[in-house]
Amino acid sequence: MKQTALPQNVKGLNAVVLIIMAIVTLDSIEPWTAWNGDPTSPGYGWNRFSYFTIQSNFIAMVTYLIAAVAIFRNKQLGEWFRFLRAGAVLYMMVTGIVFAVLLRNTQLDPDHFSWSNFILHEFGPFFITVWWLLWPSRKLITSGKAFYLLIFPFLWVIYTFIRASITGWYPYPFLDPETAGGTAGVMTYVCGLTIFFVVLCQLLAWISRARENNNTLY
């Protein structure tokens, strides 16, 4: 798909919006407060950084900043960036959908409006998906290489269960045998999410082929 290159002032506005979104995302994560408050709270200390939601938003934030710098420098990014960006889109989409389907009305869903919760679980996934669709990547991602996007979730699952075996803490109720119906229940959720990841990564690969744009910097 060939598109006309955007005017530089439009690209500059795009970069400014990306930087603002990166700042808003970091402010919503509030990493500087992780060791404040009640040590028994779910988001205290390293627990906060062990949530898939938080790690996905960190990846998205880095993606925004790299893209913004490329725009300001008017310099094309390497092909590696299409995988980072597609990965950020995939992880944020899963974050938003899983929150809406599995985590509504749980202890992870505040009983009042929370700006941070809104940004991390709702607006963030919406924003990065729309950005990816409006300003598609310069090069496509093949169906085969789309499986590279699953490396991070795979490693996160391994990390989560190893850490849980040491601390007894699970970031999400559907990963905790005590609340998910035992080991069989956990495996059912994990298998279901694995299939969901595979389907979504292939969908993103198909969209990338349809939306390939050689005029972008990333």
What is the sign of the dihedral through the CA atoms of 119, 56, 42 and 176?
positive
* Owner of token pair 């299409």: 82
Q: What's CA 172's distance to the chain center, in Å?
A: 16
Is pLDDT of 138 > 90?
no
Q: What is the pLDDT of residues 168-191, one digit of tens each?
A: 999 999 999 999 999 999 999 999
Q: Is residue 86 within 8 Å of 204, Cβ to Cβ?
A: yes
- pLDDT band at residue 1 using 50, 70 and 90 as cut-offs: very low
Is pLDDT of 70 > 50?
yes
pLDDT score of 116: 93
Q: What is the pLDDT of residues 101-122, one digit of tens each?
A: 988 877 776 667 899 999 999 9
Is pLDDT of 162 > 90?
yes
Among 172, 161, 167, which residue's Cα sits nearest to residue 56? 172
Is pLDDT of 85 > 80?
yes
pLDDT score of 10: 67
Q: Is residue 11 within 8 Å of 71, Cβ to Cβ?
A: yes
Is pLDDT of 33 > 80?
yes
Among 85, 25, 62, which residue's Cα sits nearest to residue 217? 85
Helix pair 151-167, 80-98: axis angle to 10 deg: 50
Provide mean pLDDT across the span 129-158. 93
Q: What's CA 174's distance to the chain center, in Å?
A: 19
Among 171, 174, 173, 143, which residue's Cα sits nearest to residue 159? 171
Q: Is residue 113 within 8 Å of 45, Cβ to Cβ?
A: no
Is pLDDT of 145 > 80?
yes
**Residues with Cβ within 8 Å of residue 209, at least 6 apart in sequence:** 140, 141, 142
More confident residue, 79 or 92: 92
More confident residue, 8 or 178: 178
Question: Position 122: which residue type?
Answer: E
pLDDT score of 215: 63
- The C-alpha atoms of residue 49 and residue 113 are separated, in whole angstroms, by 22
Percentage with pLDDT > 70 across the chain: 91
Q: What is the pLDDT of residues 40-51, one digit of tens each?
A: 888 899 999 999
pLDDT score of 4: 46
Backbone angles phi, psi at 113, to 5 degrees: -65, 130
Cβ burial of 162 (10 Å; 0-12, 13-18, 19+) is exposed
Provide mean pLDDT across the span 67-77. 90
Is pLDDT of 3 > 90?
no
pTM of the entire structure? Answer: 0.91
CB atoms within 10 A of CB 120: 24
